[in-house]
Amino acid sequence: MSELSRREFLERLAAVYAGTVISGCSRRRDRFAQERVCIHVLHPEEFIPAPLLEKTDLQLRRSTTQDYFNIGLPELAVCETRTRLLDLFQYFWPFSRDDFENLQKAVQIRYQKAAINTPLDVAEFAAFLRQDRSQWAKAGASSAVLFTWNDFTRQWSPDLAAACRESAIHEFVVFKNPTEPPYLCDYPAKQKGFKRPPR
């Protein structure tokens, strides 16, 4: 291989690497741009919107072809934080990559389920909340439950909300698609509304 061809090879290799990095960054940006994620910070002891308390007789099965929020949110998590999530998320929308990273920095996860699949998952969650909170919440820290509301998990929301109330959880944080009903932003809230309308 001549010096010239070796140089050309290295230049092409560098170009391919740069293109891969840029493409990867674009996909990361696109994932947050494409995922419509609205965040609702609720105080369980004060008010929970009616749609989250509605019981359903539908026994839904999770679709194997549909994914919800591929940005790294578990469907259910219990965490402690010294920063109120209401202060962190003053608007319903948008939920950006920066917001996600701020959330990761602000909370310490004590329990999580990547996906809620059965009533046993909900019972396990409620049992965790009922245990001595001194085992998982430090003095002075606030407790928060993070819940992803979607077509499948909505059947569990009344039980999850009840468990939060019973265990005096400070904040019940619901993530959902703002363009699909129910529109939780239509209910009384402590947040300021939309920073910009969801598209």
Least reliable range by pLDDT among 23-32, 50-59, 82-91, 118-127 = 23-32
Q: Please report, for the chain, the start and end positions of each structural domain, with discontinuous segments joined by +.
A: 1-34, 36-186
The DSSP output letter for 75 is S
Residues 6+ apart with CB under 8 A from 1: 9
Q: Does pLDDT of 167 surpass 50? A: yes
- For tokens 């989250």, the residue is 52
Mean pLDDT of 66-74: 71
What would the pLDDT profile of 111-157 be if each residue is shown by its tens digit? 999 999 889 999 999 999 988 665 655 666 789 999 999 888 999 99
67 or 141, greater pLDDT: 141
- Sign of the alpha-carbon torsion through 174, 175, 180, 183: positive
pLDDT tier, 75 (very low <50, low <70, confident <90, very high otherwise): very high
H/E run at residue 81:
strand 76-81
175 or 13, greater pLDDT: 175
193 or 21, greater pLDDT: 193
8 or 130, greater pLDDT: 130
- Sign of the alpha-carbon torsion through 54, 75, 127, 161: negative
The Cβ-side half-sphere exposure at 87, using a 13 Å CA radius, reads: 6
Q: Which long-range contacts (CB under 8 A, 24 or more apart) does 61-65 make?
A: 61/152, 62/115, 62/117, 62/152, 63/151, 63/152
Report the chain's mean pLDDT, rounded to a whole number: 80
Q: Does pLDDT of 2 surpass 70? A: no
Residue 174 CB coordination number (10 Å): 21
**Structure-token pair, residue 114:** 């990547």
Q: Of 58, 69, 53, give the one whose Cα is nearest residue 152.
A: 58
Give the end-to-end CA distance of the chain in Å, rounded to a whole number: 54
Q: Does pLDDT of 5 surpass 50? A: yes
- For tokens 């209401």, the residue is 86
